[in-house]
């Protein structure tokens, strides 16, 4: 529905799911390219390069052809999770795990990380997380995708551009920051002093506040419920309990200013409980958001006009240009 604008019928949904599941594999040459990346490289950089490389293998570009658009959507939605999982294993010196056609989208991704079929609850929770992150209006990476799309380049470049934007710490890395913050706090007795320090220094508290919402992010409410189900089933831990306490104390102090938990506060806790490494949190965000990016790409093509904002000059006032001989003399004096 997000991409095509209409709820699919039973047959349409089945056909789309079948197409995605049969296009999950990536070419061996893409895997070979990924093996050239340094093991220390961030997975988002690897994903950006790999997404761009897809355009070399699917270079036919007919942007007014509905079949081309559908094929590109299927390929990118299907292959992005495979590329994320493949690099995770490649950088550990292991061979990528072949995707399975018989697993759901979320279950297959978890399987490709460990070659273990996930528990049904784990797959359902990740599936819900992906849906919650699929689209959220004109954020930075989506804007980047639309600007790139407006040039009428291929969709692989559009997604690569969006991935590069999402990689920035002010956009996609906040859930990693939440876990780092909770690890820094360490224990319940450190919560109040930590908040005192942040407020005194006017520092941002990771996972709280939003540019749009002045109430608790509705996605965070759903993620909190998912986290509770997940931890109730698999067992709680000290970090999860600490997060609850921190949210309680932040709301006591800052709710009056419209500062509440956002979607990033609970997503990192959920991902870590699912066994996903911290530096894959943002790539998982990209796996979810690729559907939204492609929906915006398709919409941009429907009524395209290249982005070319006007610019207001705010530099110095005009200055006289000195004669050439004075420029030469000034250069000689400087030397």
**SS3 state at 261:** strand
Q: What are the catalytic residues?
A: 210, 264
Domains of the chain: 10-168+283-302 (1.10.580.10), 174-273 (1.10.230.10)
Whole-number pLDDT of residue 323:
83
pLDDT at 335: 54
Pseudo-torsion of CA 184, 238, 267, 244, nearest 10°?
-90
Which tokens hold the place of 223?
A: 């993620």
Buried/exposed 295-319: b ≥16 CB within 10 Å, e otherwise: bbbbebeeeeeeeeeeeeeeeeeee
Per-residue pLDDT of the chain (335 residues; tens, 9 = 90+): 899 999 999 999 999 999 999 999 999 999 999 999 999 999 999 999 999 999 999 988 899 999 999 999 999 999 999 999 999 999 999 999 999 999 999 999 999 999 999 999 999 999 999 999 999 989 999 999 999 999 999 999 999 999 999 999 888 888 888 999 999 999 999 999 999 999 999 998 998 887 676 677 888 899 989 999 999 998 888 899 999 999 999 999 998 888 888 888 889 999 999 999 999 999 999 999 999 999 999 999 999 999 999 999 999 999 888 887 777 665 555 55
pLDDT the model gives residue 334:
55
Tokens 């007014």, located at residue: 64
Phi, psi of 143 (to 5 degrees): -60, -45
Q: Which helix (H) or strand (E) holds 55?
A: helix 43-57
Cα 198 to Cα 189, 192, 213: the distances in Å are 15, 10, 21
pTM, to two decimals:
0.90
Residue with tokens 């000290």: 238
Other Cβ atoms less than 10 A from the Cβ of 59: the count is 9
CA distance 256 to 149: 40
Place of tokens 């450190």: 190
Q: What is the pLDDT of residue 324?
A: 79
CB atoms within 10 A of CB 241: 12
Question: Which residues on adjacent β-strands are paired with residue 261?
Answer: 208
Distance CA 126, CA 144 (A): 26
């Amino acid at each position: 529905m997000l991409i095509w604008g209409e709820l699919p019928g039973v047959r349409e949904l089945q056909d789309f799911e079948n197409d995605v599941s049969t296009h999950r594999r990536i070419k061996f040459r893409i895997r070979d390219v990924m093996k050239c990346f340094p093991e220390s490289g961030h997975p988002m950089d690897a994903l950006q390069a790999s997404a761009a490389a897809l355009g070399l293998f699917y270079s036919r570009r007919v942007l007014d052809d509905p079949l081309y658009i559908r094929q590109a959507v299927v390929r990118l939605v299907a292959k992005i999770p495979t590329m994320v999982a493949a690099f995770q294993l490649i950088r550990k010196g292991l061979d990528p795990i072949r995707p399975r056609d018989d697993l759901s989208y979320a279950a297959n991704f978890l399987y490709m990380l460990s070659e273990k079929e996930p528990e049904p609850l784990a797959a359902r929770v990740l599936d819900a997380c992906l849906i919650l992150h699929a689209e959220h209006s004109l954020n930075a990476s989506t804007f980047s995708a639309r600007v790139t799309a407006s040039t009428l380049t291929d969709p692989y470049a559009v997604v690569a551009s969006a991935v590069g934007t999402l990689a920035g710490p002010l956009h996609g890395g906040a859930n990693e920051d939440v876990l780092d913050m909770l690890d820094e706090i360490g224990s319940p007795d450190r919560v109040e002093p930590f908040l005192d320090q942040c407020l005194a220094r006017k520092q941002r508290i990771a996972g709280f506040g939003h540019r749009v919402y002045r109430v608790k992010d509705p996605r965070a409410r759903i993620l909190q419920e998912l986290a509770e189900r997940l931890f109730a089933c698999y067992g709680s831990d000290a970090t999860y309990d600490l997060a609850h306490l921190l949210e309680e104390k932040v709301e006591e102090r800052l709710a009056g200013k419209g500062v509440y938990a956002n979607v990033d506060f609970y997503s990192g806790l959920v991902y870590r409980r699912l066994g996903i490494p911290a530096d894959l949190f943002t790539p998982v965000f990209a796996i979810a958001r690729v559907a939204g990016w492609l929906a915006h790409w398709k919409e941009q093509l429907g009524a395209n006009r290249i982005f070319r904002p006007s610019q207001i000059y705010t530099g110095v006032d005009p200055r006289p240009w000195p004669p050439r001989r004075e420029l030469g003399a000034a250069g000689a004096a400087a030397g």
